[in-house]
Amino acid sequence: MVLSALFNTTWIEMKRLSRNKYFIVFSIIMPFVFYAVYTTTNNAEMGISGTKWKGYFLVSMTCFSLMSSSVSTLGIQMIYDKKQPWMNWLFTQPLQRWKYFAARIMTQMVLNLLVILFMFVIAAQWKNIELPMTTWMGIVLWIWLAILPFLALGTWVSVVENTESAAAVANFSTLGLALLGGLWMPLQEMPALVQIIGPWLPSNLYAEGAWSLLAGDAIKWSTSAVLSLYFLLFLTGSVMTHHHFKKTTYLSDT
């Protein structure tokens, strides 16, 4: 019963989100266009961090795509849902709130996986990126699962009252994290201060795990540990902020 309700709700949410122009443009088209531009204007075979630029930047843009989708699309969609009258009706049905939020997260995870496969399959064929199947699977699995901190950040963004403000906050945070985290330009090419701060940002840690696998190395335990701390930080902040606004709204109504 629970699994059936989750599956049905997830399927409905997937169909809704797949028609979202914001998701299509910012999570799929834009990262792929930038990948095409950056690997065409720069030598795709150039060596960097134990691998080649064409594979390194593919990881970067795929990570950026999922960051944008998980923070912006998820957060804005949750705000939009809160404003719909049918949401009140929905929660009077057997579907509890946790099932709705679980379905929302599951939907985003499924779409994230499709984005990863889209980026990897097309880029690998186009740029002739050859890797062992185990390496491909490891990179896909890491990028897919390690997005959890940004999903938590997306739920935190959803506390903003209107979609315009939420979009501004989400875009500023994801683009800022991507730039300072070395996703658009390697950290070694950035100013000294950014080289100090960058390695500790969740965006760099997220991509670093995949870059390590791409180069044939193991993921550092510190990368996983600090990224897990970011997940706990964003999730705790989201829960506390939502609870605070819910309590404030209740007091103002009374």
What whole-number percentage of the chain has pLDDT above 90?
A: 42
Coil, helix or strand for 93? coil
Mean per-residue pLDDT pooled into runs of 10, the chain (254 residues): 57 65 71 87 88 94 91 79 61 57 78 88 90 95 95 87 81 92 92 94 96 95 96 89 62 46
**CA–CA distance from 73 to each of 37, 171, 209, 223 (Å)?**
24, 10, 24, 26
The CA distance from 144 to 123, in Å, is: 17
pLDDT value of position 74: 80
The CA distance from 244 to 156, in Å, is: 12
Q: Which amino acid is at 60?
A: S
Q: Across the chain, what does the average pLDDT equal?
A: 83
The tens digit of pLDDT for each residue in 176-191 reads: 999 999 999 999 989 9
Number of domains in the chain: 1
Name the H helices within the chain. Answer: 2-18, 21-24, 30-41, 53-68, 74-82, 85-90, 97-126, 133-145, 148-157, 163-180, 192-197, 202-214, 221-253
The tens digit of pLDDT for each residue in 197-241 reads: 999 999 999 999 999 999 999 999 999 999 999 999 998 988 888
CB distance 193 to 180 below 8 Å: no
Which residues form the domain of 164? 2-253
For residue 197, what are the contacts with CB-CB under 8 A and spacing of at least 6? 180
* Both tokens assigned to 122: 């097309």
pLDDT value of position 157: 87
| pTM of the complete model beyond 0.75 | yes
